[in-house]
A and B are shown apart, each in its own frame.
Chain A
Amino acid sequence: MITIKSQRELRYMRDAGRVVAGVLGELSRAIKPGVTTAELDRLAEDFILARGARPAFKGLYGFPASICTSVNEQVVHGIPGLRKLESGDIISIDVGAEINGYYGDGAATFPVGEVSPEAKKLMAVTEEALYEGIRFARQGNRLSDISHAVQRYVEKHGFSVVREYVGHGIGRSMHEEPQVPNFGKPGRGPRLKAGMTLAIEPMVNAGTHEVRTLGDNWTVVTRDSSLSAHFEHTVAITDGEPEILTRL
């Protein structure tokens, strides 16, 4: 069942979204060569707790950290650790926060030092694809209109979208119905209504769209080791323009 959020619920989700956006802002300033992903995790966790929120990823399905840090060919669900970032890396940070029982989820990919033109383009296209998808998150549209918009934008620029992992509804739990794929034909799936809240998250690979999971059972990497980027916002459908909740 897809839940419709009341105004009060949306206020709580805005609070959660603001914490998520704050974490991404904070980390964007902390990411530089020589920093370990565990340090970023610690920073994010302190930031979230200081705002009375709870890191939503910690313990979710057994995930051991507060954020996912996925470097270069890692697509999503990278576990923070002792890996030191190097100039030229790109790192995707995925954060979730819960406040008063409501969740916010957001992600962004950041460059470390100076990165290749290809990496820059990949990040730009992924972010633009996210906004392209959000443009279709309007009352009356169908769910897969979002999916189609993302896929079309990404493939037009010569990249590929990951199929195995998808966006999701969000609200009283991190993952609610419906699933929000980043690919597919338009005009399918449930009709969007004001009050639905979706986490839209394109994961875009420079090479093949195929992925595999590493031995830690978490980290997802591209099958051909090509670079991958990931941007995500929690979005509320309204009777007008979609509202991005994970923005400062």
Chain B
Amino acid sequence: MRFFQIPGLILTLLCFTLTLVHAQEEGKVHIGGYGSIRYEANDLDNQVNTFTFRRFVMTTYVPITGRLSFLSELELERFRLLELEKKTEGESGVTVEQAVEGTGGSEISLEQAWLQWELSSALRFRAGGILVPLGRFNINHDDNIWMFPRRSLVDRGAPVLPVKSAWDELGMGFNGRFMVGEQAQLSYEMYVVNGMVLDVEVENKYRTRIDEGMKRVAELKFEPFTGSFSSDAKEAKALTGRLALSPTLGTEVGLSGYYGRYTPQYLPAEQVGSVGVDFLINRGSLALEGEYIYTSMGDVRSVASAFAGQVQNQVAEVVLEDPDGPGIEDEIEVALSGLSDSRQGYWLEARYAFSPAFLRGTVLGQEEQPLWYLGARWEQVWYNNLVQEAAFADGALSEFVTSDRQVNRLSLGLTFRPTPLVGFQLAYERTWTADGQSLADVVNFLAAEPDEDVAQAFLFGVTFGF
């Protein structure tokens, strides 16, 4: 069996590579990508000033025929290394060794991968991992096309989107565009997808302690995630779509939505519904762009109660005594995260393009048509009944704390583009909450202390596409 499998696999991979090379020579496979690297300095006590290779995304686009095409995006986020070692020895019993070596904060994900069949420009069938067309950012999320090095709060930092961007789901549906007269264009996207789900993230922690021995903690964190690309355990599909009208080139207004169940099969059905309105206005060198999203997750208290009934106990602990040493403490903890009854937010961005004449004879004016952008982005997000704590024991909620929260951010930036696909971004951002509450509970990119309600940061980013 193995004799056939291994050489067959190697031969297939070899031939597949040859096919890709052959196809690329013919101009059939287009390899592209984008990425961003940045340096961030901020004034929070626990937030380090650091370089971050934020993401590198490889894009493959294959026009199989004039009407059939395939596109995929493979994302490496803060990624450098993932190494797996495995060894089995059969001497006086069987010894199995497994070691995983990786870099912190790293992630590999398939951002999209779909096949499209273009019946006409007004009717295209698309199937696969599809970007959810909620708002305008998620479907245009490439780092190198944006003014600021950090993504918006609504889409990423304090997500009003049910799942933070880039959010893709497995499904199929249609998209297309119609010309309305000579100037106007109407476009749509409509898909049925497996849909987002309250899924679990398992975190293992190993802690050494003075005089108390070792502690091993397994944290089971249940929070909203992209739905399964395997089998949809909740057996309920979600519907998502966007309708956009572009009266003239450079102007667009969009209306979008998402609706579907998000609780897994073992919990009572609860739906998530989102609506979005977005726009873009270009007038000469000035561009205004914005997005508003509202999301409702239903009654999260009843979700938490049912969850408690299913899980029974939030924490389980056991201490393994060792007569010769301090012993080991084992703990399993279950947590609910990222839920609120509803949330809403918006971002508005204004940017102005210019090309200073006095720089044209300098090194900054050497490329064909370099451009500078001066911009500002204003963002606000509100959470209604954001779950702060859900403690439970013996199948019942013992403590359920929610609060209404708000977070604001103002970003100012200057971006230099020697060529349209490459940007050098300098930005200042000030993020703060209302009523002196900590930033820690409402944003996912700042390690704020309980008394830190304002954060200021300078970012220098390099972003590129090819």
Partners in one complex: no
Using CB atoms and an 8 Å cutoff, list the residues of chain A in contact with chain B: none
Using CB atoms and an 8 Å cutoff, list the residues of chain B in contact with chain A: none
